Amino acid sequence: MTTGDPLLLSSSGGVDSPSKQQAPARCSVGSLGCLCRTDSFSSSLYEDCDTASVNLVDDGEAVPRHLQEESDVNRTAERFQSADSHFFNRLSVECSQKERQRKVSWGGVMEMQRSPSSFEIGAVPSSHEKPNRSQRVRNKSTQFEDPFSSEHDPRLIYINDPDRTNDRYEFTGNEIRTSKYTLITFLPKNLFIQFHRLAYVYFLVIAALNQLPPLAVFGRTASLFPLLFVLFVTAIKDGYEDWRRHRSDRNENNREALVFQHGDFRPKKWKSICAGEVVKIHSNETMPCDMVLLGTSDPNGIAYIQTMNLDESLRQNGNKPKSVINVDPGLLGLLNQPLVGDERLAAHDFFLTLAACNTVIPVSTESFDLTNKVNEIGAIDYQGESPDEQALVIAASAYGYTLVERTTGHIVIDVQGERIRLDVLGLHEFDSVRKRMSVVVRFPDNNVKVLVKGADTSMLSILKRGISDGLYNLHDKIREATENHLSGYSTEGLRTLVIGSKNLTDAEFSEWQEKYEEASTSMHERSAKLRQAAGLVECDLTLLGATAIEDKLQDGVPEAIESLRQAGIKVWVLTGDKQETAISIGLSCRLLTENMHSIIINGSSEVECRRLLADAKAKFGIKSAHFGRDSEGIEDLCNGDVSKPRSSNGHIPESSTIHSFQLTGVVAGDKSEHSEKVTNFDNAELALIIDGSSLVYILEKDLESELFDLATSCKVVICCRVAPLQKAGIVDLIKSRTSDMTLAIGDGANDVSMIQMADVGVGICGQEGRQAVMASDFAMGQFHFLKRLLLVHGHWNYQRIAYMILYNFYRNAVFVLMLFWYILYTAYSATLALTDWSSVFYSLIYTSVPTVVVGILDKDLSHNTLLYYPRLYEAGLRNEGYNLTLFWITMLDTLWQSLVLFYVPFFTYNISTMDIWSLGSLWTIAVVIIVNIHLAMDIQRWVLITHLAVWGSIAATFLCMVLIDSIPIFPNYG
């Protein structure tokens, strides 16, 4: 929350929204209604917002709106004005299509000519005066069937009367619960969840069979002990975690908010807030529930709300990023000249567009009001949906065009000390189809303009074309110069936008206004209709200029990527940036090197994509049908290891330039030139660069195998202009065709599908919200932490797991083989030399603790060594820690050790009077000592807990043997 104090007054809708008899999960608020004769409806709805309704009614019975008396409305208004008189004048709700942030506003609605069919919203003025221009609604509503006339409407809410609201259809309460269990359900539910694991079912069946005398191998009680022990430990862990959830829920539910009760705002616990109650929220406070905005303390009636907590995340603490503006003295000089001439007017419109065409809200950081005093740039805190929008507004302010006020109805811009008020007539927000946004504004001289900004690919096609008069038109010159600048910006890795505007005639404005009002109030296909309305004015634009924003790489990104490449990890970049920007970023972060041969594929049809893939494979000698370019490549792919370079010797042709072979519809140069063997590509490093348009035809057709063959033969793959689902499709392409582990890392909501598709998902906490973090397996604050995660912890984890697999085979096999040799001397009978408890305790107590400790703490190399030599990570890629050869060597080692363990005590005490149970105890102690010493010989890092675990286990074995021999019910008692 970032507006004044108090921030907003709202009617709670509860956590959930009602349905018949029982309320399901609540949908987003999209509309407001009032049960009164002069009903009106003003909705600034944007795409991807659901619809809900809140009705303002008197304390009396709810009646159809055509019977509601105006005095009832007046009493409603007066009742709320008594709580906070300056809040309740007009009412509107505005939801943006962004999930991370929503702007909810009240008052100052869009100004527009009054329509006979329009509705007035909320608590209307008591007088019958005709509303002035500043009070008129902007949306022309379609005529609905009266959804509020029935008393049985389950969505009917009586404001400030929760008892009546929940009388007929009880809304779900506001208490949250993230815990799984209660005291009553813990045991059955936990056991049910645990036995979903197949291993638990297996041990349960074994234990059950062991209860049958003909099938019993161990004692009945002893066979149950391991399973019960594991179930008990897991239940303790689950219970502790659920207790922490209960504690967190209790703390959250018992937080307090100000709720209107008995004529005043009084504290009330969050869990007790009911649908229909009025809640007051102050600045920087957390929303206690889903709410409908009734009013704010801001002079402009605006509240800026961040909803990152709605995706179960916390607002990240840290310094706010600062925008660094490069101010051009020449441009500043131009802006200080009189507003005369095409160049000066274009510069004026350019910076007005930067300041106006956005959803940024200016908030004063000082005690004075922005609307009454011209302030320094630092005195304004611009809050918007993206850092890019904020940067552009700050840039406009640096050149003297300062956004100082924004409401849903107007914008005030300080132009070098002079205030200009622009009436906002309509706003078309950015969407992935149009790839641009526009705002229609009326200037003080009644001139109506549309101001547009967007991606160059979408803007250049809707610019005004010059009229051919035999001369090189000025518009064409400006466009050519701008395109050259855009190309240069993209090469530098900057994110670009094109700015344009257009004066609207009365006829154009009227046509757009009618379509826009109809689309804004449409209940079906609103997004498509709004795009159609935008198309009426987003055409024949005058090019004003272009912007470039540097998306600076985080510290350590180039070094991290270079280390990952040296470690033998293939890094693929899946981005929504344009191709030139993606290539530039690839060069700046050292993903692309000057020695690489780049294959650039841009296709516009299935046939063309098929041909381009075939041409690239033919040129570089890449074989199809899961075969690499050479025998080494075949081996790599057959082993499912596409993370290896195609050439084992790592030879790179010595060249100082990056070789780019662009395969678009028209291949640059003569085909015969490409057919010539310019260089030897056998050991060359290739980089594949492909755009989203090509992936549309490749991923949805039968070209996936062709792309797979080409991509896995390349050292680097960059996919640009890709949609979120295409990112997931690329990850699935690798997962479905290889046995390789895939890791996806991203920082935004558009990376969620990719992160969820990968074997390992990593989310970065950043300005894009926390959706990626919430969907990931690991979360980190900086990209370069990935280097340590993989090269250090990844290497340690691989070495520990690989060794533990071999060691567990060893310690169990040596014990079983030792018993097997004993069976040879018992005529293959079921006679045992060990007690049941000794057999159980061997894996449960005698040898388990050292295994766990070493598997957690052992380190073969220091972290500094692993970071300095990234290629040490390749040990895991080459399966050096665990493979079939090592397995059989371990089994042979196990075989001779088991023979020694059995026969040395056997022949030593063969002619003695020692009974079989005593000999069995000796065998048990001997095998425990030998396997723990074997483990001690392989430990790389000794710490205190390691000594305690290894030598303590041997000591514990002697102690347990003494205790077991002292229990009378055991066969070797005495």
**Which residues are documented as binding site for ATP?**
389, 430, 453, 495, 575-577, 721, 727, 750-751
Rg over alpha carbons for the chain, rounded to the nearest Å, is 36
**Beta-strand relationship, 571-574 and 597-601:** unpaired
Could you tell me which of 135, 118, 146 has the C-alpha nearest to residue 55?
A: 146
Report how far residue 677's alpha carbon sits from residue 620's, in angstroms, rounded to the nearest whole number.
10
Instruction: Kindly provide the b/e burial profile for residues 625-658, where b requires at least 16 CB atoms within 10 angstroms of the residue's own CB.
Output: eeebbbeebeebbeeebbbbbbbeeeeeeeeeee
Residue 481 CB coordination number (10 Å): 13
Q: Are 703 and 609 in contact (CB under 8 A)?
A: yes
Residues placed in the known binding site for Mg(2+): 747, 751
Instruction: Kindly provide the b/e burial profile for residues 751-773, where b requires at least 16 CB atoms within 10 angstroms of the residue's own CB.
Output: bbbbbebbebbbbbbbebbbbbb
**DSSP H or E run through 662:** strand 659-663
Report how far residue 15's alpha carbon sits from residue 25's, in angstroms, rounded to the nearest whole number.
8
**DSSP H or E run through 397:** helix 387-398
**DSSP H or E run through 753:** helix 752-757
HEC string of 314-361 equals CCCCCCCCCCCCCCCHHHHHHHCCCCCCHHHHHHHHHHHHHHHCCCCE
Residue 386 CB coordination number (10 Å): 17
Q: What residues have CB less than 8 Å from 461, skipping those under 6 apart?
A: none
CA–chain centroid gap for 603, Å, is: 30
263 secondary structure, DSSP code: T
Residues placed in the known binding site: 389, 430, 453, 495, 575-577, 721, 727, 747, 750-751
Residue 405 CB coordination number (10 Å): 20
Q: What residues does 405 pair with on adjacent strands?
A: 412
- Sheet with 8-14, side-by-side order of all strands: 264-269, 256-261, 278-281, 8-14, 290-296
Could you tell me which of 404, 291, 364 has the C-alpha nearest to residue 2?
A: 364
Q: What residues have CB less than 8 Å from 661, skipping those under 6 apart?
A: 597, 598, 599, 600, 616, 619, 674
Report how far residue 959's alpha carbon sits from residue 949's, in angstroms, rounded to the nearest whole number.
15
Q: CA distances (Å), 619 to each of 60, 604, 622, 679, in order?
A: 82, 21, 8, 11
Q: Are 549 and 391 in contact (CB under 8 A)?
A: yes
Report how far residue 541's alpha carbon sits from residue 503's, in angstroms, rounded to the nearest whole number.
9
Report how far residue 902's alpha carbon sits from residue 908's, in angstroms, rounded to the nearest whole number.
10
